[in-house]
Amino acid sequence: MGLATLFSPLTIRGHVLKNRIFSTGHMAVMLQDGKPTDRMVAYHEAKAKGGAALTIIEAARVHPSGDSGRPAIRAYDAGCIPGYANLAKACQAHGCKVFAQLSHPGREMTMAMDGTHPVAFAPSAVPNERFHVMPRELPLALIGEIINGFATSAAHMRQAGLDGIEIVASHGYLLAQFLNPHVNRRSDAYGGSFENRLRIVRDAIAAARRGAGQDMVIGIRLSGEDRDHDGVDLAEMLEVCAALGTDPALDYLNVTVGTSAGLAGSVHIVPPMGIDAAYTAPLAAAIRAQVDKPIFVAGRINQPQIAEQVLASGQADMCGMTRALISDPQMPAKSQAGQLDEIRACVACNQACIAHMLNGCAISCIQHPETGRELQYGPRKRVETPCKVMVVGGGPAGMKAAAVAAEAGHHVTLYEATASLGGQVKLAQSLPGRAEFGGLTINLTREMDRAGVTLRLNTRVTADLIAREAPDKIVLATGATPYSPEIEGADEAHVVSAWQVLQGEANVGSRAIIADWRCDWIGLGLAEYLAREGCHVRLAVNGMVAGQSLPQYTRDKWLGDLHRLGVEIIPHMRLHGIDADSAYFQHTLSGDPVILSAVDTLVTSLGHKAETALEHELRDWAGAVHVIGDCLCPRTAEEAILEGLKIGSAL
């Protein structure tokens, strides 16, 4: 497939976007005192170097009433100008345009910087469901201040040399709250009729144009559907978009899906694996048919071929590919050069991007931990004295270490005891809706091939083999095996491990209980797999909720799926024992016994145990031994690949 449309230019208000790929506004958690940092500049510049036509900087606050405990740029404060100017200069030098997002969260606020609950404002005193916030109705005087804040903030962006501004009226934030008749119950000039509910959006656009002048691009981001209880639907948004489409101050509409107001709608803020690619494109197409302005769209567009289909079919004019650029900042350049097989495709695991952000940490990527760490891991430097490096283990940790070390010039051989690479990735990708996770293995294999790593499959490394090969340095990435503590009564019952089920080595029967200590993808994935096979499933988790350790949007989507499949989820369960008919648990809070009867099979997901046998054998070995990944301490693919990067860079 050609990519002619994707790499055609688009001109908006005299600004030429060199292609149709852009990075949407997203919180990177790389601020200091509400201002962009050098780390943030490097993060965005990496996308600009990689060929993106536009990067939209994260949602900045236009008024102090929108400040919350989640750090955000204070666009209303002139102190932000130098940081924005640095961002603009760095990205524009590579032909990449830079827009700023201007926003106010309204009632979507959890806490203040000091840990207390702030006063949250909304059109009316209508609570949200996700954060359980009861807001205060915005007084008219404060509405006026917020509108003026758009003008002041836009003027700051002009002074900083940015190319454009995007007004946030999506995802259930303040302007979207005014558009929603379930949230906006005002009876004054800003509520009631359609025109009154639209008034603050029109006022914000006009204010932004006053501050920005006539040369800067101004767009608006809107959710085509909220997909949540009491949310706005497409028919309502078509009316909104048709009305805004006639505003000469507005240059484009950016279409997304979802709302922060509820758990179901918030899943679509960063849609996880299991949601169809480009699923938002039909909404963009419906809006494009009503509006004579460029339409941007984002939502699981992770491959250039998919973006080309969206654009060539006339569904949109620009494609937001944010996580695709996080996973591979060079994606546009590789696409334009025809190197599609070289692209490190995003798998929508959400683990190191949005999950980091929600935890207050700088975002990155599990496949490409260099993202967000550009100042630490810049262009790979070649070593002056190459070493002979033996990497033991072909899971994510070993593969990344091998690729990085070989790229630096070392002579690297990776040994894997089985017939294929991937480690536990092979198990994860076998679950329903998780096939994309196998992209980790594909992408890391390509990295190794490009770097010149020698691969030895079906080769178990022993002390004798090490003596024969005589490496200078050894990297141990031997992984882990299922942790199998003694379970009282197991001899009388049918007990199997999660791995046995996923590898097709166990007949579970018609009624299964999953004892899930990990509270991660294994328990949720097994429950879905068995339920879809017709099994009655009870998921007993040693935590507050199934998937407790997973990224929120991934977990919440999965929990909804399991509810529809009839899976019974029982929290706070500590496994105690089993017999031929019943499984015995203890409630982790009350300490009381819980008996789950009528069970054919107990499936255990009780964690992993580091594989350290070879490490112990090498205690007296004279060379350097580095231990990484699960054989150091069982965790996730993110830590494994990051440690591979660290060791590979340090050798």
Active site amino acids: 173
Give me 316's structure tokens.
């949109």
SS3 492: helix
| Amino acid, res. 376 | Q
Give the residue ranges of DSSP H helices in 271-328.
281-288, 304-312, 322-327
What separation in angstroms does the CA of 356 have from each of 28, 412, 638? 9, 32, 11
CB-CB neighbours of 137 under 10 Å: 14
What sign does the dihedral 438-444-448-450 (CA atoms) show?
Answer: positive
Q: Return the C-alpha torsion angle 54, 56, 57, 63, nearest 10.
A: 140
Helix (H) or strand (E) holding 575: strand 573-578
Check if the beta carbon of residue 6 is closer than 8 Å to that of residue 306. Answer: no
Max CA pair span of the chain? 84
Which residues, in sequence order, are CB contacts of 569 under 8 Å at separation 6+?
A: 527, 538, 539, 541, 545, 546, 559, 562
What separation in angstroms does the CA of 218 have from each of 140, 206, 207, 309, 565? 25, 10, 11, 26, 45
Cα angle 288-168-289, degrees, rounded to a multiple of 5 = 5
Q: What is the 3-state secondary structure (H, E, C) of 392-450?
A: ECCCHHHHHHHHHHHHCCCEEEEECCCCCCCCCHHHHCCCCCCHHHHHHHHHHHHHHHH
Q: Quote the distance between the C-alpha of residue 48 and its chain's center.
A: 20
Give me 277's structure tokens.
């690619």
Residue 38 has φ and ψ, to the nearest 5°, of -60, -35
Burial of 43 from C-beta contacts in 10 A (0-12 / 13-18 / 19+) = buried
Check if the beta carbon of residue 168 is closer than 8 Å to that of residue 102. Answer: yes
Check if the beta carbon of residue 513 is closer than 8 Å to that of residue 530. Answer: no
| Cα 269 from Cα 171, distance rounded (Å) | 7
How many Å is the Cα radius of gyration of the chain? 26
Cα end-to-end span (Å), the chain: 41
Burial of 426 from C-beta contacts in 10 A (0-12 / 13-18 / 19+) = middle
78 strand-pairing partners: none
| Cα 528 from Cα 505, distance rounded (Å) | 18
Q: Quote the distance between the C-alpha of residue 369 and its chain's center.
A: 13
Which residues, in sequence order, are CB contacts of 119 under 8 Å at separation 6+?
A: 65, 136
55 strand-pairing partners: 23, 98
172: left (phi over 0), alpha (psi -120 to 50) or beta: left
